[in-house]
Copies of this chain bind each other. A is one copy, B any other.
Amino acid sequence: MFEIFDMTGTFAFAVSGALVALNKRMDTFGIFIIAFVTAVGGGTLRDVLIGKTPVSWMTDLLNVYIIFGATVFTILFRNYLKYLSKSLFLFDTIGLGVFTLLGIKAGLSVEISAVACVGLGTMTGSFGGVIRDILCNEIPVIFRKEVYATACILGGVFYFVAQYLGANTLVIDIGTALTVILVRLLAVKFRLQLPVVYKN
């Protein structure tokens, strides 16, 4: 039932990657690759770390086609995407919530502890953007100014607290994704940031 949101998130992640690549003057292949790693990087890292191979995008090509479509879309409408920035941000945030949930569930499927599951969910949600930034020779944006991983972590905390309290699966799943989404939306709306620590 999360598939439609998963696909939406994949599309939005791919567009975000393609836009960064465009701004770096990469060629069309480079744009596709950056879109691809942004969208599947988190899930691929998750699969590799828990030993679920061949990794997901190899066995289910739907994401590959969505990413291809997102790349073409981004290239064609590159000068108009600024008018869609709110929608894209919303899709991206929905994707973050769903990816985090999928990462937590993948962790549970190999019977690792709650803390490790939250870590795995956070990676699934945020690592694609980290790879995107590394390939584009930037310090990853989530380490500097985005309340991005924090949203994933709070979603993970919701998951295990709700589970501990005996909530049913559907409530846990939807609540987890919604927690991630709301935290990020509120953080962006109110310009909340994690503190930066300065040395003397």
Contacts and interface: CB of A to CB of B under 8 A. Distances in A.
B50 A53 contact: yes
B26 A78 contact: no
Contacts of A196: 25-28
Contacts of A144: 25-27, 30
B27 A199 contact: no
25 contacts: A21-B143, A22-B197, A24-B143, A25-B196, A26-B139, A26-B143, A27-B194, A27-B195, A27-B196, A28-B194, A28-B195, A30-B194, A49-B53, A49-B55, A50-B55, A50-B58, A51-B51, A54-B110, A54-B116, A61-B116, A79-B200, A134-B135, A135-B139, A136-B139, A137-B137
Given A21-B143, A79-B199, 12 more contacts: A24-B139, A25-B144, A25-B196, A26-B139, A28-B196, A29-B143, A30-B194, A48-B53, A49-B53, A58-B112, A58-B120, A64-B116
